Amino acid sequence: MENLSVEFCGVKFQNPAVLASGILGVTASSLKNVVKNGAGGVTTKSIWLEEHGGHKNPTMFGTDHYFMNAVGLSDAGVKKALGETFPEYNKNKPAPIIASIVAGNLEDFGKLADEINKCEPDIIEVNISCPNIENECGKSFACSKTDASKVTEVVKKNSKKPVIIKLSPNVPDISEIAKACADKGADGFCAINTVGPGMAVDIDLKLPILSNKVGGVSGPGIKPVAVRCVYDVYKATGLPVIGTGGVITGKDMIEMMMVGARLVGMGTMVYYREAKGFGKVVKEVEDWCDKNRVKKIEDIIGIID
């Protein structure tokens, strides 16, 4: 085809398919392998300032309709990203890399932004879905426009790269949160993180399937929620959005772009189609564009009123 390349926050991506945070995003070699399989860009698993433990197994399971995880944001900390993951990835860098960062308080978000600059990512994605430990109810930053905007402000102040905020769908009005972040200088958004939490029971064992009992829901079942969120965020701010949530096929990707996504994130897709799914989705998009005489993929972004 024609032209599948997209510019996002001043960074050029060969195609709009991006690896979402948390899946295959821990080592440079697995990130590079995702690009080899057709992705236009990659996002790291969310990086903490210090090493962070996760939940006990079982932490994930999938069905035909949805996937659930309670991995618990385990990570080795920014030292590993700085000393290993980024230097190795950036050697013969095959595609842009987005560094996902996460913290439990504003001070750590600031320090982390400072450290992550040294990793030389192309873009910084701020995962605000974890609890704010300074909030007395342990509410997540993503659920309060004040908290979300404060995180945006502190990361922007300490960052030399474009900063995008990864929004949660689990709020009454996602546009309000997006606008508050945009007012503090967010360069764009990623929408959405997982839905829920959800819960599922093994009726034979008479036990919850996840050791954590509840977990974030992803995959095909959440796509309509993700599409609505991307639509709302793009309409409210006009800023570039990575549309993420339930994208499994080329048609899903086109749908996301029509409501305003500039890039499209895929995580759970790997469970259904493996890493080579990236290339397959891109080929499906290409075929759709050829059939519908779309010469430049950028022409379909946000065409839904």
Ligand X SMILES: Cc1cc2nc3c(=O)[nH]c(=O)nc-3n(C[C@H](O)[C@H](O)[C@H](O)COP(=O)(O)O)c2cc1C
- Ordered DSSP codes for 217-276: EESGGGHHHHHHHHHHHHHHH---EEEESS--SHHHHHHHHHTTEEEEEESTHHHHH-TT
Of 65, 68, 74, 92, the closest CA to residue 25 belongs to 74
Judged by CB under 6 A, which of 16, 22, 96, 240 binds ligand X? Answer: 22
| Smallest distance, ligand X to C-beta of residue 171, A | 15
Give the number of other Cβ atoms within 10 Å of residue 196's Cβ.
18
CA-to-CA distance for 243 and 18, rounded, in angstroms?
10
* Residue of 40, 268, 282, 302 that binds ligand X (CB under 6 A): 268
Paired sense of beta strands 67-69 and 60-62, if any: antiparallel
Cβ at position 52, least distance to ligand X in Å: 10
Asked if 170 interacts with ligand X (CB under 6 A), we say no
- Has 130 been annotated as catalytic? yes
Sign for the pseudo-dihedral over CA of 157, 25, 249, 291: positive
User: Minimum distance between the CB of residue 71 and ligand X, rounded to whole angstroms?
Assistant: 5
- Please give the residues from 175 up to 204 whose contact with ligand X meets the rule CB under 6 A: 193-194
Stretch that binds ligand X, among 21-29, 103-111, 256-264, 286-294 (CB under 6 A): 21-29
φ and ψ of 272, to 5 deg:
-90, -35
The one among 4, 20, 233, 275 contacting ligand X by CB under 6 A? 20
Among 32, 45, 55, 262, the residue binding ligand X under the rule CB under 6 A is 45
Active-site positions?
130
Residues at the interface with ligand X (CB under 6 A):
20-23, 45-46, 60, 67, 69, 71, 73, 100, 127, 166, 193-194, 218-219, 222, 244-247, 266-269
